[in-house]
Amino acid sequence: MMISVNLRPGTKRGKSGGASLAASLDRFKAIGSAVKDPIRLVAVVAWIGVAGFLGYTFMRTGSQLNELEPRLVSARAEHRRFQDFLQQKHKEELVRDSILSQIQTIQQVDGDRYVWPHIMDEVARALPPFTWLVNLSFVAAPPVPLSADTAKVEKAPPPVQVQLTGRTVDIQGYTRLMRQLEDSPWLGNVTAVSANTVVEQGRAVTAFVLNITYNKPPVDRVQTVPVAESVVR
């Protein structure tokens, strides 16, 4: 042990750099001598490093989780709104399908109910002046022979055909009647069966017979009016 004497009383003696370095080396040697097992020292340092890394990772993960929490809440709210939209859309589609089914059923029931009113209305509209009707009757379609193959196939009902018998004092009225019947959206396939000159009540007139087929026009060409409104008018 060395003893240092201060020759200048009242002044503090500063420590030299060499003494400080020596003291540091002595403390390091003391620590090294205290730890006799270097493997244990490495394990302690490794555990300290792992603990520091885990702490840093935990803090960083917590920070990222706090940043993602508002986005998660917004995504959940958007998901609920989307689910509500899908449920509402599904309900509207069910209502639409129900309405379409009811409309289709009504159209099937009423499809052939007003066949004759349409035929008579179109024939009356197509009649030119000085031309009148004698008879308007239904023409039955010829029976179709059934075979083993055709019996299994469900066929559509045959079209409605009518036969029109009339008189005219003007041959041009006869041709005009055929042309106007062909222009009707409800009628078609106007075929002349016969046209002869006959004498009725002392006057020569043209007696004609026409075959006409009833056709269902496209939906966009049909104009419907509510029953209550048509009655009021």
Place of tokens 């083993």: 148
Say if residue 174 is exposed, middle or buried (CB neighbours under 10 Å; 0-12, 13-18, 19+).
buried
Note the pLDDT of residue 210: 92
Note the pLDDT of residue 104: 77
pLDDT tens readout for residues 56-99 = 787 888 777 777 788 878 888 888 888 888 899 889 999 988 88
- Check pLDDT > 70 for residue 149: no
Average of pLDDT values for 162-166? 91
Residues 26-32: contacts with CB under 8 Å, at least 24 apart: none
Q: Are 193 and 211 in contact (CB under 8 A)?
A: yes
Q: Are 118 and 214 in contact (CB under 8 A)?
A: yes
* Residues 187, 125: Cα–Cα separation, whole Å: 12
Q: Is the pTM of this model over 0.85?
A: no
* Residues 187, 118: Cα–Cα separation, whole Å: 9
- Give the confidence band of 231 by pLDDT, cuts at 50, 70, 90: very low
- Give the confidence band of 3 by pLDDT, cuts at 50, 70, 90: low
- Give the confidence band of 142 by pLDDT, cuts at 50, 70, 90: low
Average of pLDDT values for 10-29? 56
